[in-house]
Copies of this chain bind each other. A is one copy, B any other.
Amino acid sequence: MHETKQRLLAAGLRLMLEHGYNGLGIQQILTETDVPKGSFYHHFASKEDFALQIVDAYVADVHALLDATLADGRRAPLDRVRNFFEQVREVYEAQGYLGCLLGALGQELAGTSEVFRRKIDGCVATLARRLAVCLEEARTRGDLPATTNTIQMAEVLVDAWEGAALRTRLARSGQPLEAVLDFCFATATAR
């Protein structure tokens, strides 16, 4: 990828997490990255295209983290799932607890943009399906009750996590993230 495009996407992710979509002007991105307007529109057709490519880059990072954490054979499957979320928590911490870009853009834009609504719902569902594979491994091993609907559990985990990510953004603290993980993991195994 062109270095300028990469720089625009990285700055765009950081700024959009802070300001949201409508709260962020293209000019602010150009100023912060010292990129001329013509160059921006060489790489991106529009602000919407820019934001959708930021989402793609963000989701690619999350999938890379899923690759690394869910394949870690030294851990039991449930530990791998929890470790994935713990690693995400560390990313949030490094960003100053601004929460999740999917939640932020999804929340802001789902009411008015079918493009973002479908895109982000699809991204979240895909992440849940990957977690469900690992939960299914846990169920087969007997680490979850045999009756567990692992697809539904993965969806609930991801949704509850998104709520905790919102709260972390409100409280500027990692505590809601730990609390929701403790609750979900302690109780899912106890059923």
Top 6 closest A-B pairs, CB basis?
Answer: A163-B163, A187-B187, A22-B22, A160-B160, A107-B107, A121-B170
Considering the complex, give the chain B residue whose CB is closest to the CB of A156: B183
Which of B99, B117, B121, B156 is close to A179, meaning CB atoms less than 8 Å apart? B156
Q: Which residue of B lies closest to A23 (CB)?
A: B22
B153 engages A183 (CB within 8 Å): yes
**B residues less than 8 Å from A191 (CB atoms):** 186-187, 190
CA distance A153 to B182 in the complex (A): 10
Contact check, A108 vs B23: say whether CB atoms are below 8 A apart.
Answer: yes
Q: Does A17 count as interface, using CB distance less than 8 angstroms?
A: yes
A174 within 8 A of partner (CB): no
A-B contact pairs, 5 of them (CB 8 A): A17-B111, A153-B183, A156-B180, A159-B179, A162-B163
Within 8 Å of chain B (Cβ to Cβ): is A138? no
A107–B109 Cα distance when bound, in Å, is: 11
The docked-state distance in angstroms from the alpha carbon of A37 to that of B179 is: 46
Interface size grouping (class) on chain A: 35 or more
Residues of A within 8 A of B (CB): 17-20, 22-23, 98-99, 103-104, 106-112, 117, 120-121, 124, 152-153, 155-156, 159-167, 169-172, 176, 179-180, 183-184, 186-188, 190-191
Query: A111 with B169: in contact, given A22-B23, A183-B156, A190-B190 (CB under 8 Å)?
Result: yes
| Chain B contacts for A163, CB-based, 8 A | 103, 159-166
Q: Nearest Cβ distance between residue A122 and chain B, in whole angstroms?
A: 9
